[in-house]
Copies of this chain bind each other. A is one copy, B any other.
Amino acid sequence: MNILIDTESPIPVYQQIKNQLKGMIMTGELSKGVKIPSIRDLASMLGVSINTVARAYYELEKEGFLKLDGRRGSEIVDNPKPDENQKKEFLIKLTEEYLLRTKEFLYTKDEIIKVIKEKYDEIYY
């Protein structure tokens, strides 16, 4: 369970947790039936309050990724295939946001693509 928290990021912590878990679920790194750490344990591992993790889990449950089964712990209930349309839209939205932010220094297209190529493998593997 390798979750990275960036406190400098404008993305709230509960979302960072949620999104990284979601990625692990959709790729099958966390697969159906697997028990995930209790809210308390993960909170303690990450050094955040239990409510922060609880919110991440709660939203993942709402989206059908896992089940918070009473007080029996939490486990993955589905590894949905990402909706291709939604996936495409998401990338577009993230990219627009990203490029807008780069305008603080105004980079050339080539500069940006170069860094993407350099960082991609580092982040993805």
Interface residues of A (CB under 8 A from B): 4, 6, 8-11, 16, 19-20, 22-23, 26-27, 82, 87, 90-107, 109, 111-113, 115-117, 119-120, 123-124
Contacts and interface: CB of A to CB of B under 8 A. Distances in A.
19 contacts: A6-B97, A8-B97, A9-B97, A10-B10, A10-B11, A19-B103, A23-B104, A23-B105, A87-B105, A91-B111, A92-B115, A95-B98, A95-B116, A96-B119, A98-B98, A99-B123, A109-B117, A112-B116, A113-B116
A23 B97 contact: no
A123 B105 contact: no
Copies of this chain per assembly: 2
Contact of A104 (B19, B98, B103): B19
A16 B98 CA distance: 12
A22 to B, nearest CB: 5
A5 to B, nearest CB: 9
